[in-house]
Structures are given as C-alpha cells and as structure tokens.
Amino acid sequence: MINRKSREEIKLMRHAGHIVALVHQEMAKVIEAGISTLELDKIAYDIIKKNKAIPTFLGYCGYPNSICASINEQVVHGIPHQDTILKEGDIISIDVGATFRGLVGDGAWTYPVGKITPEVQHLLDTTKKALFAGIEKMIPDTKLENVSAAIEDVANENKVGIVRQYGGHGVGREMHEEPFLFNYRTNSSVIIKKNCAIAIEPMLNLGCDEVHTLADGWTVVTDDKMPSAHFEHTVVASEDGPLIMTELM
C-alpha cells in the first residue's frame, strides 16, 4: 500500500530533508584529495546530531555508518573507512539519511574530486538530468511508470548503463516503503497518489548495466569496473506539483 503523507508529516519530512541538504552542502565544501571517507562520515554524523535528528542509515540492517561513500566503480553502499582516501580525479557518491521526529529524508549526490575527465563529467551531468526528469513526473493521479520512463530515456539518449537491481522507493516513517521505483520501464500500473513521498534515485554507469556486491556484504560495484553515479532526492507529489524535500529551506 502506498501511503499519503499528512500536512504535518510533510512538514517534518521537509525538516529532515533540510538536514540531509545541510550535510550535502558541507560535503561539497570538504570533499578534496586527501580526506578519508570516515572523516566525511564523522562530519555528516555531527551535522545530523547537531540538528536533533537521527542518522537513518546507522544500524539499518546492521549498516555501521551514517553515510554511504561510494568511489568510482562503487555504485552504492560503500562503507566509510579511515584508510579510504580520496584522490584527484575520483568521483564519490555520498548517500545520507536523516530522521527528524520520526520522518525520513534520503538524498544522494555524486561529487568530483578535483579535475575529472569529460566522460565522467558527462556521466554526472546525465545522472543528475535523469533525476530531475523523473522528479518532473511526480504528479498525483498519474503513472509512476512515467518517472521510470523519464529516467530511462535520459540514460538511453546519453548511452549510459542503468543499474537494474536497485531503484527508488517510497519513504516516510520508514526509509524504505512501497512502492519500489524502477529506473527503467516495466509496464507498471502503479499510480502516484496525492502527497505520497518517493525517493527517486537513478544510478547510472559509464559502462554496462551489471553490478555485484563485494565480500563485505554491502559495497555494490560495476562488473566492468567503470565509474557509476548516483543522485537522489526525496520528493512529495503535491497537488501543486513535485516538492523536493531534500533541499535547503
């Protein structure tokens, strides 16, 4: 069952989303060659705590940290580590969740570390474009398939791979609620309900679609070791159009 959010729940989600955006604002400042992903995790944890929220990921299914930090061929769920040091030319996807008074905001962004190649920049631009194309389709009483199709079309036009094992999701009192959102067409007949909240999160690859999980049980990487990008916003389908929760207020 897809649930609708009350006005009060949307207000709280907007607050949770603002905290997620504060973390990303700081990530954009501190990400540079030489910093470790564990330092980034600590910075994120402190911002979430300072804002009286709970790091949603910490302890989720046993996950050990507050952010996922996925470098280059890592798609999602990279675990922060003191020995994982960013270097010039890397890309790093930071995914973070904050729970504020019981409501979750979930958002991810891929950052360049210094100068990156034009091909990788194009992957970042394309993935961000796919996210916003999907967001535009978050209209009540229309098909969720339109969101999937918009993402797929941007990926195909730009000849990048689409990660198929992972996708977006309903979000609210739980990080993962119904419905699942595919990043490609599936002929789904699910309808976007008014005031439902969905985390839209295209994961696109410079190479092939295929991915697998490393022996740590978390880190997802591309089979061909080509770079992967991930952009995510939590979005409410309001009657006035899509509302992004995970932006600065």
Give the interface with ligand MF3 as residue ranges (CB under 6 A).
57, 60-61, 63, 68, 77, 95, 97, 106, 169, 199, 201, 232
CA distances from 121 to 26, 52, 116, 118 (A): 21, 35, 7, 5
Q: How many Cα atoms occupy the beta-carbon half-sphere of 235 within 13 Å?
A: 29
Q: Which residue is nearest to Co ion (CB)?
A: 199
Choose between 73 and 106: whose C-beta lies nearer to Co ion. Answer: 106
C-alpha 130/C-alpha 69 separation (Å) is 21
Cβ atoms of 75 and 100 within 8 Å: the answer is no
The conformation of residue 128, written as its DSSP 8-state character, comes to: H
45 contact choice in Co ion, ligand MF3, none (CB below 5 to 8 Å, kind-dependent): none
CB atoms within 10 A of CB 153: 15
Nearest distance in Å: CB 98, Co ion: 12
Choose between 57 and 193: whose C-beta lies nearer to ligand MF3. Answer: 57
Q: How many Cα atoms occupy the beta-carbon half-sphere of 96 within 13 Å?
A: 35
- Whether a cis peptide bond, with omega within 30° of 0, leads into 179 is yes
Q: Which of 73, 90, 106, 145 binds Co ion (CB under 5 A)?
A: 106
Choose between 97 and 242: whose C-beta lies nearer to ligand MF3. Answer: 97
Check binding of 135 to Co ion (CB under 5 A). no
Choose between 9 and 116: whose C-beta lies nearer to Co ion. Answer: 9
Nearest distance in Å: CB 141, ligand MF3: 25
Nearest distance in Å: CB 3, Co ion: 17
Q: Residue 217, exposed/middle/buried by CB under 10 A (0-12, 13-18, 19+)?
A: exposed
Nearest distance in Å: CB 189, Co ion: 23
Q: Of 56-64, 75-83, 127-135, 195-203, which part binds Co ion (CB under 5 A)?
A: 195-203
Cβ atoms of 18 and 249 within 8 Å: the answer is yes
Check binding of 199 to Co ion (CB under 5 A). yes
Choose between 14 and 77: whose C-beta lies nearer to ligand MF3. Answer: 77
Which residues sit at the interface with Co ion, rule CB under 5 A? 106, 199
